[in-house]
């Protein structure tokens, strides 16, 4: 497996016969959501149903993460900041749960839903690294509960570096009872001031280059989006007038884009995943209108139910979001290895677009589907549901 920095460059192309490298320059930012791990239900859904607006956002975020890691597009975060969206949705869900159950029960439930899929995936990733000669120290405990970045070998970095998202999500879950209390004392000021920590860490105090510093910076980067989820849940967004919301959102987008472009030479890219301050402001400006539109207009996407295949895809991606997120990088690496073997088959070499990144993405998604069938049921067990091959 190749080195992979947070932000997500693609795996190496399998463009020549016998190309054996699967290293990738680059990294991930997911998601992400990926859908937020360990969620119970979707806020705003009708009794007994799902909120398809949020489900669709979550599914799009996950699709964009996988595509980003296949292609390494530096502009992907500008088009659709997946992780900001996922943390915003997760914040809403967390506030909903804290209003209906004791904080300890909510945190315990989130841990129960998050950790078993991680352990299942970790058995394979850690096992592969051990076979290749890697030997961990005491930090192996972070593979059990990822309060810090789990250790790993350089060979397996592309697989395990995506765990920054689960680590950040876990810390937000643990901090949410306190954050929600603080937010409810002064909702709008706290929401606006939630961008202050990332500004401080970018311009005033440089966090240490270790697990603590990295975790602190990620929390600061997505704190606004998480608190924005609280604001949606509590009806704060619905009470705001459109003009200031639009104006502040555009200002945040402008500043985030300007900062990314102005510091391109410093970071070597304008990829938001590598520039925390730009990521924080762009995500804030992008996610706020999405949540505000939901709060003010009650968007529900009823047309989705009339498109059965698309609706089914959204359902599966939401129900198996943790599995897709954890396994997608492994799938892309294996796709490179598999395509390398395809070059040895004359018919495949002649008729398949083996040098295309789109073909790599297609093979990667096929392998993700295999992982969902083989391991997705762990999410059902973790949620105390009857195990199913597909939801």
User: Tokens for 188?
Assistant: 């709008």
Residue with tokens 């059902």: 380
- β-bridge mates for residue 335, sequence order: none
pTM of the entire predicted model: 0.87
SS3 label, residue 178? helix
User: Tokens for 89?
Assistant: 């949705």
| Separation CA 347–CA 390 (nearest Å) | 33
Q: What is the pLDDT along the chain (391 residues), one digit of tens a residue?
A: 433 345 444 444 333 333 333 333 333 333 333 344 544 444 444 433 578 999 999 999 999 999 999 999 999 999 999 999 999 999 999 999 999 999 999 999 999 999 999 999 999 999 999 999 999 999 999 999 999 999 999 999 999 999 999 999 999 999 999 999 999 999 999 999 999 999 999 999 999 988 999 999 999 999 999 999 999 999 999 999 999 999 999 999 999 999 999 999 999 999 999 999 999 999 999 999 999 999 999 999 989 989 999 999 999 999 999 999 999 999 999 999 999 999 999 999 999 999 999 999 999 999 999 999 999 999 999 999 999 988 8
218 contacts: CB under 8 Å, gap ≥ 6: 164, 167, 168, 276
Residue 221's alpha-carbon distances to 91, 141, 202, 357, in angstroms, are: 14, 25, 10, 30
Q: Would you say 41 and 99 are in contact if contact means Cβ atoms under 8 Å apart?
A: no
Q: Would you say 106 and 367 are in contact if contact means Cβ atoms under 8 Å apart?
A: no
User: Tokens for 352?
Assistant: 């398949």
* N- to C-terminal Cα separation, the chain: 31
Strands 27-28 and 5-6: parallel
């Amino acid at each position: 497996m190749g080195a992979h920095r947070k932000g997500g460059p693609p795996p190496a192309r399998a463009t020549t016969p016998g190309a054996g490298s699967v290293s990738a320059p680059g990294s991930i930012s997911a998601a992400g959501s990926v859908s937020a791990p360990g969620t119970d239900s979707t806020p705003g859904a009708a009794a007994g149903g799902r909120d398809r607006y949020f489900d669709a956002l979550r599914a799009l975020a996950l699709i964009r993460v996988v595509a980003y890691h296949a292609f390494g597009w530096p502009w992907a975060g500008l088009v659709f900041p997946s992780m900001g969206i996922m943390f915003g949705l997760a914040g809403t869900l967390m506030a909903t749960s804290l209003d209906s159950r004791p904080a300890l029960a909510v945190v315990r439930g989130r841990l129960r839903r998050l950790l078993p899929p991680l352990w299942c995936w970790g058995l394979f990733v850690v096992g592969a690294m051990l076979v290749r000669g890697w030997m961990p120290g005491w930090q192996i405990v972070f593979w059990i509960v990822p309060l810090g970045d789990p250790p790993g070998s350089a060979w397996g970095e592309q697989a395990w570096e995506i765990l920054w998202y689960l680590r950040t999500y876990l810390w937000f879950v643990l901090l949410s009872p306190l954050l929600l209390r603080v937010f409810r004392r002064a909702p709008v000021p706290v929401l606006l001031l939630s961008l202050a920590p990332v500004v401080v860490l970018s311009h005033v105090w440089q966090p240490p280059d270790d697990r603590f510093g990295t975790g602190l910076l990620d929390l600061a980067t997505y704190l606004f989006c998480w608190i924005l989820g609280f604001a949606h849940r509590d009806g704060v967004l619905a009470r705001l007038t459109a003009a200031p919301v639009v104006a502040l959102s555009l200002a945040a987008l402008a500043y985030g884009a300007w900062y990314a472009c102005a510091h391109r030479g410093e970071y070597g890219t304008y990829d938001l995943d590598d520039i925390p301050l730009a990521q924080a402001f762009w995500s804030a400006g992008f996610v706020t209108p999405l949540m505000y539109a939901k709060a003010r207009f009650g968007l529900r996407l009823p047309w989705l139910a009339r498109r059965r295949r698309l609706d089914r895809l959204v359902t599966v991606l939401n129900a198996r979001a943790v599995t897709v997120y954890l396994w997608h990088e492994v799938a892309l690496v294996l796709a490179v290895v598999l395509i390398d073997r395809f070059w040895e088959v004359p018919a495949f070499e002649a008729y398949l677009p083996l040098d295309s990144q789109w073909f790599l993405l297609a093979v990667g998604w096929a392998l993700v589907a295999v992982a969902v069938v083989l391991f997705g049921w762990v999410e059902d067990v973790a949620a105390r549901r009857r195990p199913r091959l597909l939801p």
